[in-house]
Structure 1
Amino acid sequence: MRSRAAVLCVLLVVLAGCSAPFSIGGEETTSGGSNSPEAGGAGGPGADTATADAPVQNLADPAADVLGWEGGYWYNESIPVTAEDGLNASEQSTFVNRTMARIERVRELEFNTTVPVEVISREEFQGRPNATGGGARSPAFRTFDNAKFEGLFLIGEGNNSLAVQQSNRNQNVLGYYSPTNDSIVVVSESATPRISRSTLAHELTHALQDQQFNLSEGTPPTRDGYNARNGLIEGEANYVQRRYEGKCGGQWRCLDISSAGGGGGGDANLHLGVYALEYFPYADGPAFVDSVFDRKGWAGVNALHEDVPESTEQVIHPRKYGTDAPTNLTIRNASSAGWERVRPDGRPDYATLGQSALSAMFGYTIYDSYNQSPVIPPQAFLNREGRSVNRTDPFEYGLAYTNGWDGDRMAVYEKNNRTGYVWKLAWDSPGEAREFVRGYRDLLTHWGGERVLGRQGVWEIERESPFADAFRISRQGSTVTIVNAPRPDALDAVHADG
């Protein structure tokens, strides 16, 4: 039986987020991660002792800009800010500057310039479609993206995948950093401007990353590469944010100026499959960063920016970072009868979806409304703490059906406004490939699929299903090939067997 309580618990995990080129994901308002004191760093006067924010205690400014001091404020200096009535312009500037000083202290990196912060209402945010990666896309791009999400059994063929993703973001984003504008936007749920200290710490970490490592360069073109890089970018931001929060109430006095109620209040319409896909960097990224920090400190984390993870598998399984590069697969064009390959402008004509996407594909069966019997049990996908779901790491992306992933490539084809695709997946061993095929057959059954008599490896999903189509599954050793078409008799036209 599906766990409805688990669904409600997962909905409590509030998305924060970033702008393009980064995906949208979660940012926690509870403390977590390591609370151990950081080493070194040029600090302000005295030790890291808590100082009350009222009455004001002014500390002497340094002769030059140093680590832990920004815009006239030390990391442990009290500030003249009244949290109860929101922030006026001068209070916001003060709050931002001290938070920058604290991020410097935690991360042991220096801001080069002050970061502008704008506070807007959710209504205004939703009127900015380009803020989180929306905007105009070519027909080929839309066709390609729709087919990709259909192939993951997340969004049915009759729906607009870009609109679904944008709707998720509009409901839940609390803030984002724009590398293009070198600025932060915070979404306030109240008329009086309010800023969550966690959201501000998270987004200021992105600004620091951009100033030190240039986040505008090297954006991967595929979903797997994108989520893998974000495992570092968002994982580091969440990791720093949690270390910052860990000092609040102990070494530091911290203001909380967030608006009551958290996210955007639209969780009832949240698409949980897309949510799980896009939440991956925030869930597994911090542990990946922590694994490097434990061995090599911040210098090791700095080095990651020069050699980012190649796959989400490397983020899920940190031991594979630098040692297990994904297989570079190819798909020969073997279409006929008018089926043409979709080649979107400005991006590769193939998709690589990765282990995190495959895990979201199986995990979504816990939540969808089509079938009450999930392919995997909730406890396999949901990380629980007692009767609740872990708010900082809700999803388990290392599933039995997806472990052993070694690469994948999907090509999309179109004819008369109908689409099909060829999806080739490499696995570490024939046994891992067989296990995935077993899970994939269960997935087809979940969505209303049945074997087609007399045709080996061919399945068809019933018309009432959001994924009504035909599928051919074949395995050769450690490689699995899936061909999709509107009907069984079109499978060979999309991709000839052999």
Structure 2
Amino acid sequence: MMRTRRNIFVTLVLIGLIACLGIGTLATVALITLRAVNTPSIPTVETLSQEITRAFPTQRPPSRLPTAETTTPTMVSLPPDIAAQMDEIEQQVIRIRGLQPRTPLRRELLTTGQLHQKVIDDFLKDYTPAEVEKDVTTLSLFGLLPRNFDLYTLLRDLYTEQIAGFYDDDTKTMYVIQDEAFRGPQRSTYAHEYTHALQDQTFDFKGGLKMTDEVCDQQSEYCAAVQSLIEGDASLTEQFWLLNAATPEDRKQIQEFYQNYQSPVFDTTPEFLQQDFLFPYRQGLDFVLDLYQKGRWDAINAAFKHPPLSTEQILHPEKYPSDAPLEVNVPDLSPVLTGYELYDEGEIGEWYLYLILAYAEKQAWRLNENIAAQAAAGWGGDVYQVWRNPQNEGTLLLVNIRWDSENDAKEFYNAFRQYGIQRWGQPLSTATTTSRWQVSTAGQSILIRENSYTIWILGSDAKAVTDALEAFQTLIPQP
């Protein structure tokens, strides 16, 4: 599961192509409707968040991502009138955000077909069938995808659905579709994109923020949090641009776009993935708004120097920066899992715990969103492992979660028990700290609460589940 999340995240950092022409932020329509172009007032967490929710209560086409530009970039066959507009938008963004460009950016034109192919060649070529299989296996064990789901095709289609362009932070080049007009939606997008340019040149995505494949492979929670900071900042800057620099014609064109916009691939994507795609923009904007309320742009700049560490901190800004993730370990299970090999491992985080409970593959398994959110809150740290038996294709999922308090552990245990009943039926046995389900002819799922820890084990073989649980429990501190 988390490998898929990392792959999606890295692709988004580079190109930001999810179910949209690369247009606007999720508050665009709300701000057009409710605020005037030169309104001097500052949006608050409460007012802007409420406006965003009313405008897009369940879905928002994500905007684009990181770029690195200058006020006088090198133009490559770009029409002079469009180049002039881009230069003007850059100057406006510089004044709004208060960051200064440092290095030039190349802008190149591609046809729609060329851009689609470049996306596939550059960002999906290394997504091997083995990695796809690993992702689907893990996500299916978490109850988020069907076992035989075609994840590769979905990602390919998402990344090539009505795209407008993308930034390649390796070549420092912005690719623009030459057969698209540069109207209100594209102008708003450019303001968002240029903010990423300023961020990258000021704070250095890879060198300073450590947003690399290697780091994100090991620290998916950190990368999800930093991605949210990056996107939240760019989205807020874009709101200010819309309020203070966009023209009436820009607003009219953006309204018309949203009235006619269709995204068939995104609309049919599993709901948990829709929510996950939107997380950096929606929850990231809330997080950055909280920072802005406390200290304006200086507070946001400070966050880039001391980044958030988890999705918990993004969901609960009051926990940033003091509430860092807690260390969680697992024992070496290879001696007790005869015939099994470690297949996948990583961390889940508060956000994905919420998705598991609230956006499971099947509607009947899902908990109420408020209940799921409350159950996932209080997360302290976690680790998961997936083991696989290559001989009989047996699988074993192990999750160790450390909570901030014993009450948090109890709350999650009770919520997950209800989720388990809805997914697997009534437990074989249940107690205040243990629930066990029969999930197949030989398979079982068991949930244990030990002090401020919860352990979930799901396996296709009941003996392997029991053996793993005994090894796990030796690691949990006793009162």
Could you state the TM-score of these two structures normalised by the residue count of structure 2?
Answer: 0.73
Return the offset for 1:310. 0.7
Identify if the C-alpha distance between structure 1 residues 448 and 317 changes in structure 2 by more than 3 Å, giving closer, same or farther: same
- Inter-partner Cα distance in structure 2 for 1:150 and 1:330: 23
Tell me whether 1:458 sits opposite 2:457 in the alignment.
no
Return the offset for 1:414. 1.4
Q: Which residue of 1 aligns with 2:4?
A: none
Q: Which residue of 1 aligns with 2:206?
A: 216
Aligned with residue 376 of structure 1, among 340, 347, 368: 368
Cα offsets for 1:313-357 (capped at 9, x unmatched): 1111111111111111011122422111126xxxxxx31121111
> In 1, are the aligned partners of 2:15 and 2:168 still within 8 Å (CA)?
no
Cα offsets for 1:391-421 (capped at 9, x unmatched): xxxxxxx811111111111112111244322
- Structure 2 residue matching 1:341: 3-state secondary structure: strand
Identify if the C-alpha distance between structure 1 residues 272 and 169 changes in structure 2 by more than 3 Å, giving closer, same or farther: farther
Identify if the C-alpha distance between structure 1 residues 106 and 166 changes in structure 2 by more than 3 Å, giving closer, same or farther: same
The residue correspondences of 1:95-494 to structure 2 (distance < 5 A) are 95-118=85-108, 120=110, 123-130=113-120, 133-137=123-127, 141-171=131-161, 174-186=164-176, 196-217=186-207, 218-219=210-211, 220-221=215-216, 222-248=219-245, 254=250, 260=257, 261-262=260-261, 264-335=263-334, 336-342=337-343, 350-365=345-360, 368=361, 370-372=362-364, 374-376=366-368, 380=370, 399-416=373-390, 417-452=393-428, 457-461=435-439, 470-492=444-466
Return the offset for 1:286. 1.5
Return the offset for 1:201. 1.4
> In 2, are the aligned partners of 1:362 and 1:443 still within 8 Å (CA)?
yes
Cα offsets for 1:21-79 (capped at 9, x unmatched): 6876683343649976599xxxxxxxxxxxxxxxxxxxxxxxxxxxxx9349xxxxxxx
Return the offset for 1:223. 2.8
- Inter-partner Cα distance in structure 2 for 1:22 and 1:461: 40
- Inter-partner Cα distance in structure 2 for 1:299 and 1:71: 26
Q: Aligned-residue CA RMSD in angstroms?
A: 3.7
Return the offset for 1:441. 2.2
Cα offsets for 1:230-279 (capped at 9, x unmatched): 111111111111111111467x9858777944464434422221111231
> Which residue identity lines up with residue 473 of structure 1 in the other structure?
L
Q: Which residue of 2 aligns with 1:62?
A: none
Identify if the C-alpha distance between structure 1 residues 179 and 191 changes in structure 2 by more than 3 Å, giving closer, same or farther: closer
Higher helix share: 2
Structure 2 unaligned residues grouped into runs of 5+? 1-7, 43-69, 474-479
- Inter-partner Cα distance in structure 2 for 1:17 and 1:143: 19
> In 2, are the aligned partners of 1:118 and 1:186 still within 8 Å (CA)?
yes
> In 2, are the aligned partners of 1:20 and 1:132 still within 8 Å (CA)?
no
- Structure 2 residue matching 1:447: 3-state secondary structure: helix
Q: Which residue of 2 aligns with 1:346?
A: none
Structure 1 unaligned residues grouped into runs of 5+? 1-14, 40-68, 73-86, 344-349, 382-397
State the identity %: 20
Return the offset for 1:495. 5.3
- Inter-partner Cα distance in structure 2 for 1:442 and 1:124: 49
What is the number of equivalent residue pairs in this alignment? 408
- Structure 2 residue matching 1:420: 3-state secondary structure: strand
